[in-house]
Structure 1
Amino acid sequence: MKRVLDIVGSFIGLILLSPVLLIVAILIKLEDPKGKVFFAQERNGQYPKTFNMYKFRSMVHNAEELLEQLQGQNEMDGPVFKIKEDPRITKIGKFIRKTSIDELPQLINILKGEMSIVGPRPPIPREVEQYSEYEMQRLLVKPGLTCYWQVGGRNDVGFDEWVELDIKYIEERNLWIDIKLILKTVFVLFGDRTAS
């Protein structure tokens, strides 16, 4: 049933949101013509699988090259890098991150079976290398587009609490919880103060 929900949900989502996807793609290209519209990054799926996760590009085209210079400004604990006022983010990037529109291309990952609509967010392999055995439990299931962390605080939630929320989902998951998290996620599209 979860896979059926993923296929139907991602397919309908891509059709209904296609005008938004097209407009965002044009705006990204207009602001920074050198870069691609989409950003594909290797992520860990259900361990030990990896896949290329798609997002709308929200940063300047050379963002990965600039990352090393910013490592000392990391505002997250644990093996995760995030800073609220990241200078690499473009103007359109700031908007699509605030509304979580940058995540919508992951509907393609869901359709392909690499992700689910609901599940722990897929981490970057270099972060997974630093995981403890306990934290590795996040990778026991297929990663998702949304989860408890996505709808419940995001950058206001520390890494340890994030792991606890993911393990809670893995232990309690069922179709009803998935539907509730999907509905809550819709509200994030109207602007989440913790998104960045």
Structure 2
Amino acid sequence: MTFYKSLVTLKDPQVLEQFKIITKSKPWYERNSIQIISGEKYLRIKRAIDIVASLFLIILVLPVLLLCAIAIRIDSRGPIFFLQERTGYAGQRFKMLKLRTMREDAELLKAKLMHLNTLQYPDFKIPDDPRITTVGKFLRKTSLDELPQIFNVLIGNMSLIGPRPTSFHPSTYKIWHTVRLEIKPGVTGLWQVTGRGDVEFDERIRLDYAYMQNVSLGLDIRILLRTFTSVLRREGV
């Protein structure tokens, strides 16, 4: 039995109460009255799209990745890519691939900077993070550091659209947080196009749940289009 399946049912009223999102009117992601392909058929089509799109994108972005790799190598010591354990579907841990944007000793420095954290634990973010390299700042602002995750999509431990995989272990989740583990994590998702990196973790969970309640191919397309808009506007995470 997986970790999240061993927890109490999410039908508990006290648990479901956590998912309420207070708005004056229905948000855009709940306005799609016509669900364009959902259910099991949706999952099969989504996986097929992930495979085809990731293969196409890998070919398309290879020159960009090469330029980024050269810039990272010139700018600072350390590997070009950064592998980090993330929590995915059903609480399974996997290695997520990113371009390195921080110094080699970033994790050691994190402990010393924890008191400056501006986000809800276990998330971590500080203004003008000294661990981020010069090239890293540009890569993050343009979201180019996320490009290698296309390989995770091709492998199958991620999707193009879905909840953002966390670095912390599912055993640290609150019970109601575990709902996000019932769907494959994505490169981009609902919370990224509504609040980007400024959304607290509890609110991200509520948005993940809202996505799962309204999931369809049509909603995925809208999220993807909004992601492109956010990247072009450099509304960085």
* Superposition TM-score, scaled by structure 2 size: 0.78
Considering Cα pairs closer than 8 Å and 6+ residues apart, tell me whether 1 or 2 has the greater RCO: 2
Shift, 1:45, TM fit: 0.7
Check whether the contact 1:78–1:160 (CA below 8 A) recurs between aligned residues: no
Partners of 1:10 and 1:134 lie apart in 2 by 32
Which residue number in structure 2 is paired with residue 145 of structure 1? 187
Shift, 1:122, TM fit: 0.4
* DSSP-derived class of the 2:227 partner: helix
Check whether the contact 2:50–2:160 (CA below 8 A) recurs between aligned residues: yes
Which residue number in structure 1 is paired with residue 98 of structure 2? 55
Partners of 2:174 and 2:130 lie apart in 1 by 31
* DSSP-derived class of the 1:184 partner: helix
Which residue number in structure 1 is paired with residue 156 of structure 2? 113
Partners of 1:84 and 1:107 lie apart in 2 by 28
* DSSP-derived class of the 1:52 partner: strand
1:189 aligned onto 2:234: no
Q: CA RMSD in A?
A: 1.3
Which residue number in structure 2 is paired with residue 83 of structure 1? 126
Partners of 2:135 and 2:191 lie apart in 1 by 24
Larger Rg: 2
Partners of 2:229 and 2:66 lie apart in 1 by 21
Percent identity, aligned pairs only? 45
Shift, 1:151, TM fit: 1.5
Shift, 1:180, TM fit: 1.2
Partners of 1:190 and 1:85 lie apart in 2 by 22
Equivalent positions of 1:19-58 (< 5 A) are 19-32=63-76, 34-58=77-101
Unaligned runs of 5+ in 1: none
1:73 aligned onto 2:111: no
Q: For this pair of structures, how many residues does the alignment match?
A: 193
Q: Of residues 69, 79, 92 in structure 1, which corresponds to 2:135?
A: 92
Partners of 1:84 and 1:163 lie apart in 2 by 23
Structure 1 residues 84, 151: closer, same or farther in 2, change over 3 A?
farther
Which residue number in structure 1 is paired with residue 30 of structure 2? none
Q: Which amino acid aligns with 1:163?
A: I
Partners of 1:93 and 1:179 lie apart in 2 by 29
1:169 aligned onto 2:211: yes
Partners of 2:192 and 2:210 lie apart in 1 by 14
Q: Of residues 123, 129, 134 in structure 1, which corresponds to 2:166?
A: 123
Which residue number in structure 1 is paired with residue 22 of structure 2? none
Check whether the contact 2:88–2:181 (CA below 8 A) recurs between aligned residues: yes
Instruction: List 4+ stretches of structure 1 deviating above 3 A.
Output: none
* DSSP-derived class of the 2:89 partner: coil
Shift, 1:14, TM fit: 1.1
Which residue number in structure 2 is paired with residue 13 of structure 1? 57
Partners of 2:230 and 2:153 lie apart in 1 by 19
Unaligned runs of 5+ in 2: 1-44
Deviates more, 1:155-164 or 1:108-117: 155-164
